Each structure stands twice: as C-alpha cells, then as structure tokens.
Amino acid sequence: MTDPQNSEHAQKARSRNIIVFGETGAGKSSLINMLAGDDVVVVSDAARGCTAESAPSPIIIDGTQYVLWDTSGLNEGERGTVPMGEALYSLRNLVRKLEDGINLLVYVVRAGRYRNIIKNNYDIFTQIICEGKVPVVIVLTGLENERHMEDWWDANERMFTAPGMKFTGHACVTTTRGEGLFEKEYEESKKIVQTLIKECCPEEAWAFNSNEWYSRVTGRIKDYINEYNGTGDFLGGTVDAGDSSDSFCGAVMVAFLAFSQWVKYYYKAIIAAL
C-alpha cells in the first residue's frame, strides 16, 4: 500500500517542465546554457535550423527543480522538410506515451523589428499545441548594448500586444558575455530569468488525454492553415500567394515534430526512472 505522505512528497518534488521555443538564432540554446551554468546545449550558428531531438536540461532555482526542453527545429522559412502525414503520425504515437504535462512556455525572441512569424510561432505553441492552457512568458534577447535593457520592452510592448499576444511575464536580457564585455549584464540577465521562472511557473502541470487532444489539435491545424491559405502572409509577405499554404504547413509541421521529440525524451526519462 502506498504511503500517502510519501506520495504527497513525491508530488511536491516533481520537476516542472518548461518548453523553450522560438526561431533559430533567437538564443534558445544560449538561454538554457546561461541558466544551467554550463554548455549543456550546442549553440548553432547555421542560417537554417533543423529538426533535432531535444535533450532535457535540469536546473534548480531556490530548491525547486525545473527541466528545460529546447525545441530545436521551429524556425522561419523551413519548408518541405517534414511531410504532414509523417509528422502527424509521429506526433500521435509519441504523445500517447506522455504521462505528465507542461508547466510553462518560454518564448525566446531576438529584440528587433516585428515580423508576422513572431505571432505565428506564438499561435502554434500557445493556442494550437497547448490550447491556451499553459502560461507563457517572453524573453527578449540581444539587448546587451542597451543602457537599460528593460527600456526596450517599455518602448516596444505594443508591438506584441497589438496582434493579440498575451504573456504572464517578460524579461529583457542578453545571453552572451561578449568575451567579458557584458559580464555584468549577463549575470544580471541570469537572475532576471530565474526570477521570471520562479514567479510564473506553476506547480501544477497541464496534462491531457493524448487521443482526445490529437483529434482536437489536428482539426485546429486544418482551420489555421485554411485561414492563411492564399494570403502570402505567413512568412511576413515574403512568399508568393500560391506558395503560402506549403510554407505554412511546413512551419507548423516542423513545430509539431519538435514537440514530439520533447515527448519522446520525456517518455524515455520516465522509463529510466521506473
């Protein structure tokens, strides 16, 4: 018979899962390395991202363990690399094995001009994959040259809120030491993001019935694709109208495959712990 006290302790001690997503080059891997205190994730300088398996990166903040998952593969302009049928089949099989949930989404965006892909990536993870049920925070990177990094958000917040993006919290940071030039800003940024996670990551995770979730989400994907079909807007107006559906499908499927890789690694971790 299970000891209720031990069971309660195990529940409290359970790691909180955090999905880190964003475009290639936004600084996802650098952010994770900064929080982990080591180069646990390879930082890519490739112009185009690729769909790669994401290894979990555990960190501890004030005695609570969090597991960061770098969703490599969600990037702008990736097209035709992930067939829709293959990605959905993989997603369906892997998600069925998920026994736990997601506590927080961290959206990493490199500070700069606004592009439609920023909102599209936000929708894919927050509204389609997580159905609006997981809190999301935004981390703006590349601000090491700002006199006061937080000022960037004060001046540009409406750029994100006007299109309908909502965040539980935000952080304006740098994820580079710049060969020692930005050491102070780097350490300050680490503390800022740690505080953001501690304050915005709930103890209770969002878990779901994989079969029901899969059925709902595939329907929403089709609706989302139809909404943008023929508009040429998904990649910020950089593709022809006749090609927009293919580009949009490719981006959505890359996001799904990245998520499915997270599921795969999480399932392996569960099996290893048994």
CATH of domain 13-273: 3.40.50.300
Structure tokens at 34: 């900064």
- Name the DSSP letter for residue 127: I
End-to-end CA distance of the chain: 17
pLDDT given at position 85:
53
Report the candidate in 45, 108, 50 with the shortest Cα–Cα distance to residue 75. Answer: 50
Is the Cα torsion angle 18, 24, 26, 29 positive or negative in sign? positive
pLDDT given at position 176:
95
Are the beta carbons of 172 and 157 closer than 8 angstroms? no
Report the candidate in 266, 267, 253, 269 with the shortest Cα–Cα distance to residue 90. Answer: 253
H or E element: which one contains 237? none
State the pTM of this model.
Answer: 0.75
Helices 210-228 and 84-95 sit at what angle, rounded to 10 degrees? 150
| Residue type at 245 in one-letter notation | S
Q: How far is Cα 71 from Cα 68, in angstroms, rounded to an integer?
A: 10
109-168 residue pLDDT tens: 999 999 888 998 898 889 888 889 999 999 999 999 999 999 999 999 999 999 999 999
Question: Which residues of the chain fall short of a pLDDT of 70?
Answer: 1-13, 39-55, 72-99, 210, 222, 225-226, 228-274
Ranges assigned E (strand) in 22-130: 56-61, 64-70, 104-110
- As to burial, measured by CB atoms within 10 angstroms (0-12 exposed, 13-18 middle, 19+ buried), residue 45 is exposed
Domain boundaries, the chain: 13-273
